[in-house]
Amino acid sequence: MSSFIVWMIVINTLFWLVCCLGTAHVVRFLPKSWYEKNDWFFAEHSFEKKLYKKIRLDRWKDKLPEGGGLWKFQKKELHETLTLEYTDRFILETKYGEVGHWCMAVLGFACIWVNPSSYANVALICAIVNVIVQIPFCLIQRYNRPRLIRLRSRLARKNTQSHTTKPQTGAGV
């Protein structure tokens, strides 16, 4: 194997690691208020439920790898730690995930500039494949978030009801 090929493997491997892991890390530096203010971006659109049903997203979404553990968040704890705080964090994590995967999809096209121009077609194919790979992860975040928001609303109502005190009546008060 020529040193050129080894060098290109090293450069491309580093590029994709930095592109994916770096982006997933950087999106967490955006202020939480940015994620809250841009609810229009994260809002569920009317066509989405039909799309998720058509592609049977609920059947395969849990089979894809999930990287929340890298940032000390495990979605499997939802059943163990069902609190408003945990649900809020989960909703925020879906926003981090969606923004991160969309950014990875776009930034992946920078691989064209990392490689020699004679390999631009191969790099373009890699970038397009990367977009295709990122889309299911974005869809999963968008699928989960409305469900988590509804869950959060139910938890908030339940907490409000359990904290409301009945007025005491009778003597001795």
pLDDT in tens, 69-115: 776 777 766 667 788 998 999 999 999 999 999 999 999 999 999 99
Environment class of residue 57 by beta-carbon count within 10 Å: exposed (0-12), middle (13-18) or buried (19+)?
A: middle
The residues, ordered by sequence, that sit 6+ positions from 130 with a Cβ below 8 Å of its Cβ are 16, 104, 105, 108, 111
CB 128 within 8 A of CB 111: no
Q: How many CB atoms lie within 10 A of CB 88?
A: 14
SS3 59: helix
pLDDT for 11 equals: 94
pLDDT tier for residue 161 given thresholds of 50, 70 and 90:
confident
DSSP-assigned letters across all residues of 97-118: HHHHHHHHHHHGGGHHHHS-GG
Whole-angstrom distance, CA of residue 47 vs CA of residue 162: 37
Contacts of 144 (CB under 8 A, 6+ apart): 61, 90, 94
Is pLDDT of 56 > 70?
yes
Average pLDDT of span 56-73: 85
Instruction: Match 């008060």 to its residue by tokens.
Output: 173
Radius of gyration of the chain, Cα coordinates, nearest whole angstrom: 22
Question: Which pLDDT belongs to residue 37?
Answer: 87
